[in-house]
Structure 1
Amino acid sequence: MTDQFKTILLKAKLNFAILVAILVIAVLGKFTNPELTNGIFVTADQLVSELYLVFIAITLGAFIPNFKLVVLGSIAAFIGAVILIQAGIFTYLTTEYLFAVLIVVLGFASIANLYRHYRENGL
């Protein structure tokens, strides 16, 4: 492995962890509750066509230097919205829909952040 490749792998551990976590959720979900998992990932697939969501995710991943803030902020927004759903304030949203949004945002932000690391290290 070249030094540049090692540098990217070391800097982008969180990015790979997020992408692996999405893959693990998909695999484990297919074994435990395939209907729910399929519904969430179908919704996530449909959300990819909502370009504003994808652009926001890419912007977050590419232009915010501290990627941990993006991850923590996305998860905190998800938890806050789920609490509001359970409290009956957001009656038009479902937890499954929000989880699909979280998957899309974190996935695209991770890929954009990986590309930023790639560009910075000149590979």
Structure 2
Amino acid sequence: MSIQLKEVLVKAQLNFAILASILIIAVLGKFTNPELTNTIFVTADQLVSELYLVFVAITLGAFIPNFRLVAFGSITAFIGAAILIHLGIFTYLTTEYLFAVLIVVLGFASIANLYRHYREYGL
């Protein structure tokens, strides 16, 4: 393995961790609660057609140098919005919908950030 590829893999550990966790959630969800998992991933699939969300996610992943801020900021925003849903402030949202948005944002941001690392080295 070349040194450049090793450097890309080291820099992109968080990206691979996020993408692997999405895959693990999908697999474990199919065994534990398939109806809920199916609902969340169908919603996420529908959200991909909303291009503004995808463009925002790609922009976050490609242009913010510290990807940890994107990942943990997205998760923090999800937790904050979920708390507000349970307090009854956001009555028009569901936690499942927010989780689908989180999956789409983190997935596309991770891929864009991974591509940015890939392009840095011209591989």
TM tier, smaller: over 0.9
Structure 2 spans left out of the alignment, 5+ residues:
none
SS of residue matched to 2:92:
coil
Q: Which residue of 2 aligns with 1:109?
A: 109
For residues 64-121 of structure 1, give each alpha carbon's deviation from its aligned partner in whole angstroms, at most 9, with x where no partner exists. 0000000011001000000000000000000000000000000000000000000111
SS of residue matched to 2:105:
helix
SS of residue matched to 1:90:
coil
Q: Structure 2: how far apart are the matches of 1:58 and 1:50?
A: 13
Q: Which residue of 1 aligns with 2:7?
A: 7
Match status 1:95 vs 2:89:
no
Following TM superposition, the consecutive aligned residue runs of length 4 or more in structure 1 with deviations greater than 6 angstroms are: none
SS of residue matched to 1:71:
helix
Q: Structure 2: how far apart are the matches of 1:5 and 1:31?
A: 35
Q: Structure 2: how far apart are the matches of 1:115 and 1:75?
A: 22
Q: Structure 1: how far apart are the matches of 2:36 and 2:4?
A: 41
Q: Which residue of 1 aligns with 2:120?
A: 120
What TM-score comes out, normalization by structure 1 length? 0.99
Q: CA deviation at 1:54?
A: 0.1
Structure 1 spans left out of the alignment, 5+ residues:
none
C-alpha root-mean-square deviation of aligned residues, in Å? 0.4
